[in-house]
């Protein structure tokens, strides 16, 4: 359990991803240890609530890209599928837990990091936290349930906006969107998260989304990937134009698959949508553009 810590105090179990050198990126070992820690906390009668956290500067920045590149290059797509299924099982357990589960986000929660928070009952973020689903920029899609839980939490339009653009948003914007339940100062986040997990406090009412977010939600809900450029040319909203510009840099194949999966979220049960995420993995990871983008990203990060 060297990559995940479990501490229990005053009825609250705190599970911490302890891989700060990689900003807590997830690989099969991390997910396996998270699953063990969560099972222990869930089964412990002393535990009234569970807090998920990350060590170091980040909550979790997503899946380990080196893991993906190695397995693409060896042709072992089944290992990628098994890893993703392992992640699905963990997040399903988190979502269905009878005890309150609170994500305590003090830094970046990107990709699978944001997907973990979507499975939690509550998300508490510090002012310096950030959130995003940047996978389409790497030629893939949010495969840890992001294409299914984001539409259910935010609505189809804002889920498409986040996933298509890959935009990283602040804690305050994540609160307005619906990804975060409470934003607190950094020095208050531990205490507030533990109180919330122990059901000893409540979150503030979320403010209205505001004009810009409503414009984005309406545009992306009504517009398909194929029609984004033409629809943006007719739009009078600067926020829409910026979002479509970001989307235009993403591989069309990844956007098409992400759109299909998001649309399915509005038409099927969560379990069925998650099964569809798994079914598309081998195809998207076998695309040459996906390998090129993932390898380029991994190379830049190592240098």
Mind telling me the catalytic residues? 115, 135
The Cα–Cα gap between 34 and 188 comes to 25
The Cα–Cα gap between 188 and 27 comes to 30
Vertex 286, ends 280 and 290: CA angle to 5°?
95
CB atoms within 10 A of CB 275: 15
CA distances from 167 to 213, 249, 267, 274 (A): 13, 12, 26, 23
Q: Are 116 and 103 in contact (CB under 8 A)?
A: yes
CA distances from 259 to 146, 166, 254, 263 (A): 12, 13, 9, 6
């Amino acid at each position: 359990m060297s990559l995940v810590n479990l501490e229990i105090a005053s009825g609250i179990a705190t599970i911490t991803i302890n891989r700060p050198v990689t900003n807590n990126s997830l690989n099969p070992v991390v997910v396996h240890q998270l699953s063990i820690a969560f099972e222990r906390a869930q089964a412990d009668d002393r535990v009234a609530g569970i807090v998920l956290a990350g060590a170091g500067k980040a909550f979790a920045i997503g899946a380990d890209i080196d893991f993906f590149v190695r397995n693409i290059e060896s042709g072992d797509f089944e290992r990628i599928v098994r890893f993703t299924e392992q992640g699905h099982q963990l997040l399903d357990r988190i979502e269905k837990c009878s005890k309150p589960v609170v994500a305590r986000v003090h830094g970046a929660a990107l990709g699978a990091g944001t997907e973990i928070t979507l499975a939690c009952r509550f998300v508490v973020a510090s002012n310096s936290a950030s959130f995003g689903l940047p996978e389409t920029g790497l030629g893939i899609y949010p495969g840890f349930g992001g294409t299914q839980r984001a539409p259910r939490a935010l609505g189809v339009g804002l889920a498409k906006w986040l996933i298509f653009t890959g935009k990283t948003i602040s804690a305050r914007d994540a609160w307005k969107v619906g990804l975060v339940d409470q934003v607190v100062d950094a020095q208050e986040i531990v205490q507030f998260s533990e109180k919330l997990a122990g059901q000893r406090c409540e979150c503030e009412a979320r403010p209205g989304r505001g004009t810009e977010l409503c414009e984005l939600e309406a545009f992306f809900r009504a517009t398909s990937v194929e029609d984004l450029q033409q629809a943006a040319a007719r739009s009078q909203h600067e926020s829409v134009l910026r979002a479509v510009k970001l989307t235009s840099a993403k591989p069309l194949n990844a956007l098409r698959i992400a759109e299909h999966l998001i649309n399915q979220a509005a038409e099927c049960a969560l379990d069925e949508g998650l099964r569809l995420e798994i079914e598309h993995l081998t195809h998207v990871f076998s695309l040459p553009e996906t390998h090129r983008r993932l390898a380029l990203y991994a190379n830049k990060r190592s240098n």
